[in-house]
A and B are shown apart, each in its own frame.
Chain A
């Protein structure tokens, strides 16, 4: 139904309503601000800085050397949420980067060219080390090859084998441990001038485990009806600390304890998830989502779902930085380096397609989903190549129809709101008609 022109104009002029935030979100905001403050002061404090990736990150090991991590993927998605990515991507394309390639890479290159200013408005320090955790994404390797040319600093390569046959092999685990000993730890020792301290790493891993227990409780809470969380759009915030600079810290332990308490309270009160427009009061559809979100229109994208009463009860994107809900915990293995190896091997995009289909099927059943949506990302072959086959397999196994939409991570040119909205609404109507 069309709206009166005046109403449209008024809506266009009105500032967007402030998003509702839980106190855990405020805590996370403070943690992030503190981290970026430390990064901005790294030159003065002499603290060493490593750039690295989210999947397969070695955050505890970096903390054991007092190294500050920077995650270029997170910089890119934050740039997108602040509507800066389009300009950065244009800049990278002006420098010769092809329109076909990963937009995270181009956003990062563009941001670097424009002064590498982080979300707090301060320039990020250059890396002392590029810690290339090559886990689940070939493009990571090419990305850091490009950054190596830009920064000319040390590079530590950690090749994490693909788990093609369903389960990681003992040989793959040993390969990672061998590289940690022969390549990664010596480079960390070199750039920091500190010796590897296994006891310190063990203590960090123990704290990770505490936080991971609480995160898994929160993710599992979506099995309740109504679900107290959105396990895709909301989980993006929930996994932030554990996927990035805070795993192994007391801050992360406190954050997840507080988050869990908030969610427990919501379960007791029978409340639905908090969305940017308030608490979802009527859970009409329970969905599982495969694939990363679009970041340039994150709130609009989310609104398509919550406007219709659709809650995401499980998502694979919330597992790219670790499959904790399937039982893995840091520090589980006796040897801390083996524990890190197990973590790297188990990240979602390092799993074979049959394993990914199996996990999605499990989510659909365990979380009693009405359907599933694949958000296929133009930039991300690791996620996207094969998703159409996965979709059909999942439909056959569950007897449920799936929806398939396409967008991009941080390139707004590939986000078509009307098209996506149309498809999701039609899909939800189909679910309704099948009831």
Chain B
């Protein structure tokens, strides 16, 4: 009987998937599943369950990170547009995304919205679907609209060659993703409770792997890591506990996360890979699974700068999240030119100030290569909290 993989082996696999910007893993999946679709989706949230129920592989596209040289993509965007769309276009124009049969662009912000149009102009032969997630959270308005939108998406995936919409299949897909969400939540609980057993960059790689893996395989990978993590020879260190916020769309390079942890901090909670954690809790079994998916979006969507603040102010929610994570402070890490993240910062920082929670902030791009400034900021912040209990 083969022995269970070690945490190191699992992480090495995730690193390979992370470096796989040409989507070789997706090509392998398609080769193993002839005739089935692979559908890419942009950040932040897309209903992967629906894509999965069409027999397709949902593929999370999060740009090219610091691994892709941008040549053609820069010719499509002005200097004041964030980095993710230019690396995504670069990957598209170099053929790395050819393996995908279609693309879903959620209504994250104006840039992702317009990227859907760029895709139609540059790749007219490819299926490119803008998904307007409702900003009205009443079931009779936004709920009805969203249900119709999802029904249409299901029909279009079928038209592309996917399986026809079917309640039984959707129910099964929802159950698989509920299981996946529970595994991700368990990983985050591990970090909150024993952050020395799983660093921020490791957790990032583990969750990100789900962007290209079949959901069951990803859930199994997460569980195997959680089982193996306890046997790692790591000791608790005297570090502050940080909550990282603002990185929900364009992801920071691994170097940023490693720098933060090397500067005297454990990042015990974050909004990285937020799409995978968008729905809080299970969608649950239902006779009407599409309705359940809609209801979950309306009622269980997580704290996010891309959703209209229709209920409790985000500042209050952030303070609660800080308390729940047992964080000593907050780091606002937002991509340059990210309107949703940056426009949220002043009220969030005001709420933290009123609650006595220290914070610091910096901006990054997915291909940032200089970390010294971040190291100095984070190190000073960490030292001041350890020495005086305040930044």
Residue among B85, B149, B339, B344 with the most chain A CB within 10 A? B339
Task: Please state if A387 and B310 are interface contacts (CB–CB under 8 Å).
Answer: no
Q: Does A118 contact B (CB under 8 A)?
A: no
Task: Please state if A381 and B343 are interface contacts (CB–CB under 8 Å).
Answer: no
Task: Please state if A388 and B75 are interface contacts (CB–CB under 8 Å).
Answer: yes
Q: How far is the CB of B143 from chain A (nearest CB, A)?
A: 10
- B132, B149, B347, B363: the one within 8 Å of A146 (CB): B347
Chain B positions 253-278 with a Cβ under 8 Å from a chain A Cβ: none
Task: Please state if B145 and A381 are interface contacts (CB–CB under 8 Å).
Answer: no
Grouping DSSP codes into helix (H, G, I), strand (E, B) and loop, the B interface class, with mixed when no group exceeds half, is helix
Chain A positions 150-168 with a Cβ under 8 Å from a chain B Cβ: 157, 159, 161-162, 164-165
Task: Please state if B135 and A389 are interface contacts (CB–CB under 8 Å).
Answer: no
Task: Please state if A388 and B309 are interface contacts (CB–CB under 8 Å).
Answer: no
Task: Please state if A162 and B136 are interface contacts (CB–CB under 8 Å).
Answer: no
Q: Contacts of B292 on A, CB cut-off 8 Å?
A: none
Q: Does B29 contact A (CB under 8 A)?
A: no
Residue among A157, A174, A406 with the most chain B CB within 10 A? A157
- Distance in angstroms between the alpha carbons of A350 and B109 in the assembled complex: 13
Query: Interface segment, B116-124, B204-212, B236-244, B294-302?
Result: B116-124
Q: Does B349 contact A (CB under 8 A)?
A: yes
- Distance in angstroms between the alpha carbons of A387 and B75 in the assembled complex: 11
Task: Please state if B141 and A178 are interface contacts (CB–CB under 8 Å).
Answer: yes
Task: Please state if B145 and A389 are interface contacts (CB–CB under 8 Å).
Answer: no
Q: How far is the CB of B140 from chain A (nearest CB, A)?
A: 6
Query: Interface segment, B76-84, B192-200, B372-380?
Result: B76-84
Grouping DSSP codes into helix (H, G, I), strand (E, B) and loop, the A interface class, with mixed when no group exceeds half, is helix
Task: Please state if A385 and B114 are interface contacts (CB–CB under 8 Å).
Answer: yes
Residue among B76, B113, B118, B135 with the most chain A CB within 10 A? B113
Q: Does A179 contact B (CB under 8 A)?
A: yes
Scan B324-350; emit 1 where CB is below 8 A from any A CB, else 0: 000000000000111110111111011
18 chain-A/chain-B pairs, Cβ below 8 angstroms: A96-B346, A101-B339, A138-B107, A139-B339, A141-B308, A142-B305, A145-B309, A146-B347, A183-B138, A352-B117, A381-B111, A382-B113, A385-B85, A385-B110, A388-B75, A388-B76, A388-B77, A389-B122
Extra contacts, 18 of them, besides A105-B343, A141-B308 (Cβ < 8 A), are A100-B337, A100-B338, A138-B109, A138-B113, A142-B305, A146-B347, A157-B135, A159-B134, A175-B141, A175-B142, A175-B144, A178-B140, A178-B145, A354-B121, A381-B109, A381-B111, A386-B76, A386-B117
Interface residues of B (CB under 8 A from A): 75-78, 80-81, 85, 107, 109-111, 113-118, 120-122, 129-130, 132, 134-136, 138, 140-142, 144-145, 148-149, 305, 308-310, 313, 336-340, 342-347, 349-350, 363
